Amino acid sequence: MTDKKEKLKILFLCTGNSCRSQMAEGWAKKLKSDCIEAFSAGVYPVGVNARTIQIMAEAGVDISGHRSKHADDLCGIEFDYVITLCDNAKEMCPVYHGKTKLLHKPFSDPSVLIGSEEVITDTYRKVRGQIRDFILTLPDSLIQKENGGKKQ
């Protein structure tokens, strides 16, 4: 007899759903598809950033088929967690009822940088790595947070 656990439904939310939330959804699908059903959206979607697609592909994660969505586009889904990835998304986050838990885990936005190609690309890679490291902690870090920091 097998004990099949239901996947956690997690929405990664940022302002434009162009960079950080797309990275988080891509990493979650690549690294945690056995236990997480990942979604991403924005409070003001602007389209998926081309550099984000390139930087993720460089790490072996194909998000070229992703599209930028508004949080309202996913209103029929009952999420276990909504994780805001920037302060603006936290402030503008829609209200979620029922079992949905909100978590804030901000990351820098590399898409707003101005500078040399090298500096911008390095920053995208840095944020990509930070988001990957965060995704690797899931879902254990969420459960631990609910239990007041104690492991189950």
Residues recognised as catalytic: 14, 86, 93
Residue written as tokens 């254990």? 140
Q: Give the residue among 96, 53, 92 at the shortest CA–CA distance from 74.
A: 96
Q: Is residue 26 classed exposed, middle or buried when 0-12, 13-18 and 19+ CB atoms within 10 A define those classes? A: buried
Structure tokens at 27: 């990493």
Using alpha carbons only, what angle is made at residue 44 by residues 41 and 48, rounded to the nearest 5 degrees?
Answer: 60
